[in-house]
Amino acid sequence: MTIHGTIINGSVHLDTPTTLPDGTRVELRPVQSYESPLPPTDTEGEHILALRQSIAEMNAGILGTSLAEFAQEMEREFGHAD
């Protein structure tokens, strides 16, 4: 069994929920070089985590925001790009 995740602010955030019981010991190893020229900012880490959670919800069949609602939210947050 292989479980994938990302380290964000020092904690492992799994791509999908696991059925392993609490207390199960696991072994972690990087799948790619973790030496980045610049570490991600807290905001970037939050965005990555939000995207991973959204993908997991989508894979689980949980419906999210429509494209129209998303576009309205982006316009409110970032303004209209002309």
- What pLDDT shows up at residue 50? 81
Tell me the pLDDT tens digit for each residue of 10-47: 788 888 888 888 888 888 877 765 555 555 666 677 78
Task: For the full predicted model, state whether its pTM sits above 0.85.
Answer: no
d(Cα 47, Cα 74) in Å, to the nearest integer? 14
What's the number of CA atoms in the CB half-sphere (13 Å) around residue 58?
A: 10
